[in-house]
Every structure is written in structure tokens, then in C-alpha cells.
């Protein structure tokens, strides 16, 4: 009996799901593994499928964040500047006088490389921190 772990399963899953739509059924997998005389059980596969779906949600979140980033990066130069941020927030009706002249400060909080603008990584941090403060 071969030693089998989740990493192997993930590799197979990736291969099976050729078009990347995540639609590989557990029954198909069981059938395939059986065909290769790999012994596993349904519980393991269901666990894998959960992990798989979780990772896919992660990817979805990443692409959602990219879309959000583009909403803010109005001049599309790959960075959110103070002006980008202020314009985008105004368009969304989220610009509040009490933030006032403070877009530089808002950016400064997350501007880890201190170039005065937010790149995508810095933007992600901002969104994650924002998420946490809502919860």
C-alpha cells in the first residue's frame, strides 16, 4: 500500500481539473485512485475537497481585491496615490469631511515602503486590517 498524503492528492486534483473550474467529483477521484491501486478513503478526499475549495475562495478574494484596487487606482498607474484615494472615496460617497485633507495620513498608515502611494500589497494589508476592524 502506497504512502499517500494530502500533497499527493492535491497534485492529482490539479491534474484532473484541467480547465481549472474545480469540478472534479469525489467519485471520479475515487475511481481514478482505485484505478492506480492507491488506497484512500472518502473521508480523506472530502477533507481534500474542502481544502481545495478554501484555496479557490482565496484566489477569488485575490481577484476581487485586484478589482477593488483598480477602482481606487483611477489613473491606472499601479499605485493608489492620495488623489486616487480621495477621488475614489468621493465617487463611492465615502469621502467624509472629517477625513478631510487626511488622505496622506490614511495612505501613510499602510505605506510600508514610504513612497507616498499604495501598491497592491499595501492595499491588501489595508483591506485586511479594515476587515478585522469591522469584525
Q: How far is the CB of 84 from Ca ion (least distance, A)?
A: 4
Rounded to an integer, what distance in angstroms lies between the CA atom of residue 127 and that of residue 121? 10
**Under rule CB under 5 A, residue 53 binds Ca ion:** no
Residue 53 or 75: which CB sits closer to Ca ion? 75
Beta bridge partners of 80: 118
Q: How far is CA 76 from the centre of its chain?
A: 21
Q: Could you tell me the smallest distance in angstroms from the CB atom of residue 77 to Ca ion?
A: 4
Report in angstroms how near the CB of residue 66 gets to Ca ion at its nearest: 14
Name which of residues 73 to 102 contact Ca ion (CB under 5 A): 73, 75, 77, 79, 81, 84
Nearest distance from residue 64's CB to Ca ion, in Å?
Answer: 19
CA separation, residue 132 to residues 67, 78, 128 (Å): 20, 25, 6
Burial 9-22 (b: 16+ CB within 10 A, else e): beebbeeeeeeeee
Region 9-38 residues binding Ca ion, contact defined as CB under 5 A = none
Binding site for Ca ion (CB under 5 A): 73, 75, 77, 79, 81, 84, 111, 113, 115
Amino acid at each position: 500500500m502506497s504512502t499517500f498524503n494530502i500533497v499527493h492528492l492535491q497534485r492529482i486534483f490539479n491534474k484532473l481539473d484541467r480547465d481549472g473550474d474545480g469540478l472534479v467529483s469525489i467519485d471520479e477521484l475515487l475511481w481514478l485512485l482505485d484505478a492506480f491501486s492507491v488506497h484512500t478513503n472518502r473521508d480523506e478526499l472530502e477533507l481534500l475537497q474542502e481544502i481545495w475549495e478554501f484555496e479557490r475562495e482565496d484566489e477569488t478574494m485575490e481577484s476581487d481585491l485586484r478589482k477593488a484596487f483598480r477602482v481606487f487606482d483611477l489613473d491606472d498607474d499601479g499605485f493608489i496615490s492620495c488623489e486616487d484615494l480621495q477621488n475614489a472615496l468621493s465617487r463611492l460617497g465615502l469621502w467624509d469631511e472629517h477625513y478631510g485633507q487626511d488622505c496622506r495620513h490614511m495612505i501613510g498608515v499602510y505605506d510600508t515602503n514610504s513612497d507616498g502611494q499604495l501598491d497592491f500589497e499595501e492595499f491588501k494589508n489595508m483591506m485586511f486590517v479594515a476587515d478585522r476592524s469591522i469584525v
